[in-house]
Chains A and B, each alone.
Chain A
Amino acid sequence: DTGVSQDPRHKITKRGQNVTFRCDPISEHNRLYWYRQTLGQGPEFLTYFQNEAQLEKSRLLSDRFSAERPKGSFSTLEIQRTEQGDSAMYLCATLNLAVLNEQFFGPGTRLTVL
């Protein structure tokens, strides 16, 4: 499979626990994005990387959220001290700068915080 992959697909956790999600991009896609999608809403931008550099963070990204892309390949998104309001689908998308205007999305990680 040469598409964007995300792991896990589903995560159920208790409030206050830490969770980490992983995104593996399409190879040679140097930009990687994280979006959050709550029920009945469109995806909202969280942050993005160009290679290993985190270039932009949304105001939605509180200090409990941290994202990394250490070698410019896969990325992780960690949420510390989860809250019920963090329950959402977390989407990863990647893009090839040579074909600037199309982002390819992964299947998402659905987080449920009890």
Chain B
Amino acid sequence: AQTVTQSQPEMSVQEAETVTLSCTYDTSESNYYLFWYKQPPSRQMILVIRQEAYKQQNATENRFSVNFQKAAKSFSLKISDSQLGDTAMYFCAFMKQGRGYSTLTFGKGTMLLVSP
């Protein structure tokens, strides 16, 4: 079974600054996907960024980038130029690769508060 650990229950950052959210995972699988999802207060969860484990290059999506360290089983999210709209719960999630697999395993989340 896979486990996902987010060790930071809450983080705070000021607008325009950079923040990094941590995630570690445990698996015996060699092929998998990793995700960061964002859940704003009272709004639905949306995908922020994804990483395929077979790719060495770290994924980036505009102000969001990841630091994927496969050997260390670490998958952190960096948010640059933080905006007020980034205030949300952020979940790290794991999914085994393969057509028969698509269930997500989530961490407990990190609440990010962006202040003016």
A interface list, Cβ under 8 A from B: 3-4, 31, 33, 35, 40-45, 48, 56, 91, 93, 95, 97, 100-108
**Neighbouring B residues of A48 by C-beta, 8 Å:** 102-103
Q: Once A and B bind, how many residue pairs between them come within 8 Å at the CB atom?
A: 55
- Contact A31–B102 (Cβ < 8 Å): yes
B interface, size bucket: 20 to 34
Closest to A103 in B: B104
Segment of B14-22, B43-51, B63-71, B73-81 in the binding face: B43-51
B116 CB to nearest chain A CB (Å): 26
B99 within 8 Å of A (CB atoms): yes
Question: 20 new A-B pairs (CB below 8 Å) besides A101-B97, A101-B102?
Answer: A33-B102, A33-B104, A40-B109, A42-B4, A42-B93, A43-B91, A43-B106, A44-B106, A45-B103, A45-B104, A48-B102, A91-B45, A93-B104, A95-B102, A101-B50, A101-B52, A102-B50, A103-B47, A105-B46, A108-B44
Closest to B101 in A: A100
A40–B43 CA distance with the chains assembled, in angstroms: 16
